[in-house]
Chain A
Amino acid sequence: AQKITQTQPGMFVQEKEAVTLDCTYDTSDQSYGLFWYKQPSSGEMIFLIYQGSYDEQNATEGRYSLNFQKARKSANLVISASQLGDSAMYFCAMSPAIAGGGNKLTFGTGTQLKVEL
């Protein structure tokens, strides 16, 4: 079974500052994928970034980067130069990375980020 833990229910950051959202995971799978999704107040789920367990480089997508520390089983999301539009709920998720096995995308409980002026 896979488990995702997000220990920060809420976070505040000032505009233009960087912020790290924590995510730890537990799995017995050798190969897996890690994801971050953003949910603004409008409610839709927006895919942000993906990291494969065998990827040696940390994933980056614009202002988003995933700080992947396999030995520590952590996959923290770093948002650089925060903007007011980054205020949202952020979910960490994982799935097995096998053909057809990505059926069970497991989500954490989320972190509510508020960006302040």
Chain B
Amino acid sequence: DAGITQSPRYKITETGRQVTLMCHQTWSHSYMFWYRQDLGHGLRLIYYSAAADITDKGEVPDGYVVSRSKTENFPLTLESATRSQTSVYFCASREDMTGANVLTFGAGSRLTVL
């Protein structure tokens, strides 16, 4: 199916465990993003990528690692999960274009860290 898909949609883990959230897009968009959504904070940018093998930090990168070996995939890893990382995580992508920066979002991954 065309679009942007995230997996898993729901995940429960324990403090200290490693968790990877997957993001896959079928449009060959250059830019991909990871946001977290928390009540009272809206969406905050964790990491983004301008192309394969090019990543950069966003507003709240601590505790997260990303990679982008292929254009279509942008996994987000929590190397040692903490309770403060309980959140809804959104992956997004956009074309490499000037002007409007319209992001297309995945359905979100709800992560609970116990």
Contact = CB atoms under 8 A, between A and B. Distances in A.
Do the two shown chains form a genuine complex with each other?
yes
Interface of A: 4, 33, 35, 43-45, 47, 50, 52, 91, 93, 95, 97-100, 102-110
Given A43-B88, A103-B31, A95 B44 contact: no
Contacts of B58: 103-104
A45 B101 CA distance: 15
A41 B68 CA distance: 31
Interface of B: 31, 33, 35, 40-45, 48, 50, 56, 58-59, 88, 90, 92, 94, 96, 98-105, 107-108
State the 7 A-B residue pairs at the shortest beta-carbon distance, nearest first: A102-B101, A45-B105, A107-B42, A107-B43, A109-B42, A95-B101, A99-B98
A98 B31 CA distance: 14
A47 B42 contact: no
B102 A104 contact: no
B94 A108 contact: no
Given A44-B105, A45-B105, A50-B100, A100 B50 contact: yes
A107 B98 contact: no
B102 A47 contact: yes
A47 B90 CA distance: 14
Contact of A109 (B41, B90, B101): B41
Contacts of B107: 43-44
Nearest to A9: B40
Contacts of B92: 45
Contacts of B44: 107
Contacts of B101: 33, 35, 95, 97, 102, 105
B56 A103 contact: yes
Contacts of B43: 45, 91, 93, 107
Contacts of B50: 100, 103
A110 B45 CA distance: 15
Contacts of A44: 105, 107-108
A93 B59 CA distance: 15
Contacts of A100: 50, 96
